[in-house]
Structure 1
């Protein structure tokens, strides 16, 4: 979430919430691709995390980026906490532990998304190198304890930090020590949304396996290929998970509204102040009976902000967010939208992907999701491995991208960005597997080399 919404329009009924989702539908020719990716800043001198304050801190980094880009600052309590591109729609924001995020602009092709990424990384390096800072793309910080990890000065994160330990054992790890890449994709109608939501929920564990890249915690192997994904299994199960009811008859915008209304709130923002209402019901706010803010009425901004505090494997807003992948090196960031665009933006591939997964039961989907963080591509569903399913899904994505036929200046279509994933299935090994091999081999049981070999 790049920035909190500020639309003060009052919402008075459930029907208006449903209509809010429906307004996200757009014709296929207007579909766009929005890619978000996080990375861990670190001090190159001693590989320590980067606090907010200080001459080489996150504030200095953001101020330098503002001078370089000319983007509008996002402020909170007099502190810069992000930047917004008012012309292109992109934004830079901070996650709780200082993870530095680019929320990319809505773009037409994956070529454009990849160009945006390369430009962003070049800009970040231009500002960060004089400060002695580097950036690491892994799904979990490989070295720092939770106590060593800095805390960013954002009101919503203060509320979440207090609430998370009440509802799960891993919420603080999720907030402060994980990093992801996701892609946001459009739908043309309620039926199209449901079709894409079901396919992407079923295949999200396959994406997790393909992008697994978080095998280290506090300097040693943690027993998982995607510790980030494992952390989500006990973060806050009221607002996370595989949404099994999305496969039931009658699924649509109304069903998601009812789900979101039942997810406990974190906060209500009025002006610059975050009111802690953690655990309260949005239904009460909608009715004007929220005990913490009696008489306060719900706004469009309240609804939009509440939706950003819901964390299923695929999240519905006015678009769909694919949330299953660990952060990774540049090629993997370009590969994630390639995978999902190829599957979801081509009707033939979308229909074929549904044929691939439609007979899986909720229990089978959940079991696959539970097994993938540890077993990766070796996890199984029915009589098939995740690797087998990944091969099929990648073939469908490749076909879908070929039919899209979006070429760059060199005449290459978007399939070129699938190459890192094709290598994963060819080698039958994830990036996490490669990192573990280095740890047990040339790195001599140390994780420090990851900060040089895998930095941006």
Structure 2
């Protein structure tokens, strides 16, 4: 989730400002960066139970312990609920999932260093309090009742509202973890092309990174149960956005979409005011029931933009949102995949050629079926593993063309190694976990926490 909002901002006087908010993200290619975000579950090493917020071995202790590494606390009420260091943040998901929102970086080598440093710091503090962390898309054993809510006002509002819109919204909040990457564009046309390509290919990312096959102690029937959860969370703010593929799509059309997404809150004087289900269109007219007579600011709009959860989300950059969180190599592979596909013009053209004739029915089919069947999904007479092989090959070409070398002379394709293995074998991490659970692990999850913790 986003870091705490700052409030204030320029008053919105006309609709054009909403569109210009997105257009302000345009950057020349020389200024393009990548930002990687990943979430992880914390648990007690002795009991394998999730961490609460309070206590000497809880999430608060983790946040306070990390300040030794130069992280500065961000407080809501009397509670530290996030950390900031430079342009990076550590934030909390509703169930205590620990999220690094990385700084905008120029190369994947820098991203890999950032991820490694973060995990080393987390492990150092966690080890002192008897905790550990693991990257998975969905908690394999824990129930909703096992989870502990974090003391953030935004989450109290969402907790009450989610069950009104879908059956699995609380599971999304409490028991899922993702990895995503945020990428730039240089113009509206560039944004549109990248949005279309990445939205079409999100199901392939879902299949490649699937690592959430369990629910409450047994197989869920899905390779990515995390991805399935989003299909029954809130239809007003989730999904594949078919209008993105329509003629005329651009910043204005996305602004119209966001105006139709019901609000969650307004942030004033350090507090979240419940505006759940209310309309930003009414807010623009001074008719918001939560703040009658008041007009919004551009910061209200920026906050509202964070409350939509499509598979690709537009802010002043594009967010790739289709993948389960996972082990460190996966956290580096996700930005490598999308940078390779989107940051080289030839690769972007090749990726568009692959998907340009896919129909709305195709997109809907892949969104629906891929969480269940993963790379084995059959699409247009081929397995998704075969489609994924082509996609990964395009990403390789895009990264080779970038020619960004580390100190040992390696280019950025080294970070695609987990995906190379997946497309060669046709098996995602979820398939491997299921095989171990049925075999050498004897249907126990203790080895999962032992072997796959950071």
1:32 and 2:33 are equivalent in the alignment: yes
Who is 2:422 aligned against?
A: 424
Q: 221-230 or 7-16: which moved more? A: 7-16
Q: Which residue of 1 aligns with 2:446?
A: 448
- Whole-angstrom distance in 2 between the partners of 1:256 and 1:197: 11
- Give the deviation of 1:385 after TM superposition: 1.9
Asked if the contact 1:49–1:149 (Cα under 8 Å) also holds between the matched residues in 2, the reply is yes
1:73 aligns with 2:79: no
Given that residues 220 and 446 in structure 1 are in contact (C-alpha distance below 8 angstroms), is that contact kept between their aligned partners in structure 2? no
Query: Residues 191-202 of structure 1: matches in 2 within 5 Å?
Result: 191-202=189-200
- Structure 1 residue matching 2:446: 3-state secondary structure: coil
Answer yes or no: is the 8 Å Cα contact 1:165–1:172 preserved in 2: yes
| Structure 1 position 386, deviation (Å) | 1.1
Match of 1:291, SS state, is coil
Between the aligned partners of 1:13 and 1:148, the Cα distance in structure 2 is: 47
Aligned to 1:293: 291
| Alignment partner of 2:309 out of 287, 308, 311 | 311
Structure 1 residue 286: deviation in Å?
A: 1.4
Counterpart Cα distance in 2 of 1:7 and 1:42: 37
- Aligned 8 A contact 2:7 2:268 in 1: no
Structure 1, residues 234-256: CA drift from partner, whole Å, max 9, x if none?
Answer: 00011000010100000000000
TM-score by length of 2: 0.99
Residues 433-454 of structure 1 show CA distances to partners (whole Å, capped at 9, x for unaligned) of 0000000001111122111110
Residue 263 of structure 2 aligns to a residue in which SS?
Answer: coil
TM-score (norm 1): 0.98
Cα offset for 1:427? 1.1
Match of 1:267 in 2: 265
Residue 238 (structure 1) aligns with: 236
Partner of 2:51: 50
Distance of 2:352 and 2:380 partners within structure 1: 16
Distance in 1, matches of 2:227 and 2:151, equals: 26
In the other structure, the counterpart of 1:2 is 3
The Cα of 1:219 is off from its aligned counterpart by 1.2
What's 2:88 paired with? 90
Runs of 5+ consecutive residues of structure 1 not aligned to the other structure: none
- Cα distance in 2 between the residues matched to 1:64 and 1:106: 25
Partner residue of 1:41? 42
User: Using the alignment, how far apart are the partners of 1:72 and 1:455 within structure 2?
Assistant: 26
Output one character per residue of 1:338-388: Cα deviation in whole Å (capped at 9) or x when no partner: 000000000000011000000000111110110001100111222222111
**Quick one: distance in 2 between partners of 1:265 and 1:150?**
25
Of residues 248-257 and 441-450 in structure 1, the stretch that sits farther from structure 2 once superposed is 441-450
Secondary structure, in 3 states, of the residue corresponding to 2:145? coil
> Contact 1:12–1:287 (CA<8 Å) still a contact in 2?
no
Residue 233 of structure 1 aligns to a residue in which SS?
helix
CA distance in 2 between counterparts of 1:112 and 1:290 reads: 44
Q: CA RMSD in A?
A: 0.8
Query: What are the superposed Cα offsets for residues 24-66 of structure 1, whole Å, 9 maximum, x if unpaired?
Result: 0000010000000000000001001100000111111100111
Does the alignment pair 1:184 with 2:182?
Answer: yes
2:355 counterpart residue number: 357
Maintained 8 Å contact 1:5/1:305: no
Written as runs of structure 1 = structure 2, the 5 A alignment for 1:244-283 is 244-283=242-281
Farther-moved stretch of structure 1 (403-412 vs 442-451): 442-451
Between the aligned partners of 2:216 and 2:75, the Cα distance in structure 1 is 33
In 1: Cα distance, 2:7 partner to 2:339 partner: 30
For 1:375, what is the secondary structure of its paired residue? helix
2:113 counterpart (102, 112, 115): 115
Q: CA deviation at 1:8?
A: 2.1
How many residue pairs get matched?
453
**Given that residues 376 and 426 in structure 2 are in contact (C-alpha distance below 8 angstroms), is that contact kept between their aligned partners in structure 1?**
no
Whether the aligned pair in 2 keeps the contact of 1:212 and 1:325 (CA below 8 Å) is yes
1:284 alignment counterpart: 282
Distance apart, 1:126 and its partner CA: 1.1
Give distance in 1, aligned partners of 2:7 and 2:289.
23
Q: Distance in 1 between matches of 2:418 and 2:329?
A: 7
Matched, 1:157 2:158: no
In structure 1, C-alpha distance between the alignment counterparts of 2:186 and 2:6, rounded to whole Å: 24
Shift of 1:7: 4.3
CA distance in 1, matches of 2:176, 2:26: 31
Q: Is the 8 A contact 1:365 1:381 kept in 2?
A: no
SS of residue in 1 equivalent to 2:232 = coil
